[in-house]
Amino acid sequence: GVLGGEAKEWITSRGVPVPDNPEALAEMADTVLHMATYTPHGEEPENPARLQERSKQGASLARELLRRALFLSPSHPPSVCLLADLQYQTGAIQEAEALFQKAARLAPSEGGPLTALAEIREEAGELKEARNLYERAHALRPDRVDITSNLARLRRITGDGKGALQAYQEALTQEPSQPDMLSNLAGLLQSEPHLLPDAAPLTPEVLLRRALLIEPGHIYASCNLARLLRDEKGRVDHAAGVFDRATKAAPLSAPAWLSKAATLLSGEGEIEQEKVLEAEEALEMVVLLEPGNMQALVGLAQIEGQRRFGFAAEDEDEDTAEKPPQEGIRDVEREEKLRGYFEEAVDLMPDNAEAWTAFAVFEADLGEGVEKGEAVFEQALSRNPSDPSVLREAALFQQQRAKDGVGAAEQLYRMALAIDPDDVPTLVNFGVLEHVKRTRLESAEGLYKRALCLEPSSSGALANYASLLHDRGDENKARDMMTRARALDPTI
């Protein structure tokens, strides 16, 4: 096999002439890229570091071959497209965009270059331009399901639910066995139920069940079906059953175990101890699969907090109801085990604000108050004094948990924005703080507007700005903005 860095030597030193025509050079570059990441069937895959190095060497050689091809024929479409895609994959976005634009001019009947340009525009937050490019690509290649499904997604994000439905229906006519599209269409109908008559006889439940018949371990479909059964129909046990099947179909899927735990812990009133223990086992699986998974660690910490402060000890005595409530069960050994999880997480990811936040919340819940949580953030800030994300999370902790934390939170937000004035989550969180004061609505609006200017697809900024507009009495604008937020994040 010709693998990675050996390929150049093989081509130049072993009697194989380097082609002098662009067609052959492009084919050779394509082959090199394939071989640079190829593992023969039955062989053990290489370690990630070696594979990454081999891929890097292959990309370097392929780039050299393609540049030679374009030197010989500057308007050779396959070489332009291959080099554009290679530059995009390796992070040279500006050059890739220029090459894709050139490819679109050279092959105006092809939708591929326009699709690539749409992806670049979407990543830059220019959603309307991305949609326009997908519309043009779809007009050229209505037979390509990937273009049609991406067009449906962008129509939905930009607020055209009816257009999104039409595109999804068109894509499913071409390829009815695509679980991703079935799930996405179900999500659209759940967030915009007024479209249900146009989609009949399809309903979200039918679409999600069909997706799971095709791919039983499809996590997005499992999560949405379970939420539908749990939240809209009150069938919590059925929802848990969906995740039972998902974890059996995909036992190494951390999201499946995480969602199963969340479903078991949902519902009104006191949760049965059996379900709590089952959820705890699911969260332990997540930590085994993904050490340092914050959601799982937080869930385990919350269960331990409930066990210590909220769960009454089981007692078969019929007179239990007449006895005073018990404090709950404190398992010091268990607390230390959880503390070890968090300490491992922050050691593995010392600059991960989410890890420090989860650790601080854990200590605040199981300690004697917020002081222990504040101590964790002091440690985090001493190790990351100029990290705006850590400052932001420390501010949010003060904002939500400390009795007199508003002033401290404001100071921390200002420090974070002094380091990175374009940090969108900080702008949104600071906006919420100003909004809550009620006397600082103008300041809050300015922060939300700046966040949306930097990131038009920020669902948090849209939703919180919608809330501010509602409070100010601008109902129509608030409704439109909340619709956009929910199209981006149906959980809002």
What's the average pLDDT block by block, 10 residues per block, for the chain (492 residues)?
A: 48 58 87 75 64 81 88 89 89 91 88 91 89 94 92 92 93 90 89 85 89 84 80 72 78 82 72 82 85 76 64 41 44 74 76 74 65 78 79 80 73 89 90 82 90 90 92 89 85 76
> What pLDDT sits at residue 162?
93
> What pLDDT sits at residue 428?
92
∠ CA 237-241-246, nearest 5°, is 150
> What pLDDT sits at residue 267?
62
Q: How far apart are CA 489 and CA 162, in angstroms?
A: 18
Q: Shortest CA distance to 434 belongs to which of 463, 456, 407, 398?
A: 407
Rg (CA), the chain: 27
Could you tell me if 37 and 58 are in contact, meaning their C-beta atoms sit under 8 angstroms apart?
yes
**Which tokens is 182 given?**
């079935």
Could you tell me if 406 and 433 are in contact, meaning their C-beta atoms sit under 8 angstroms apart?
yes
Could you tell me if 119 and 146 are in contact, meaning their C-beta atoms sit under 8 angstroms apart?
no
In 110-213, the DSSP E strands lie at none
| DSSP conformation class of 290 | S
How many CB atoms are located within 10 Å of the residue 63 CB?
A: 19
> What pLDDT sits at residue 294?
73
- Give residue 102's identity as a one-letter amino acid code: K
Residue 362 burial (C-beta neighbours within 10 Å; 0-12, 13-18, 19+): buried
- In degrees and rounded to multiples of 5, residue 277 shows phi and psi of -65, -40
Euclidean distance between the first and the last CA atom of the chain, given in angstroms as a whole number: 52
Q: How far apart are CA 88 and CA 79, in angstroms?
A: 14
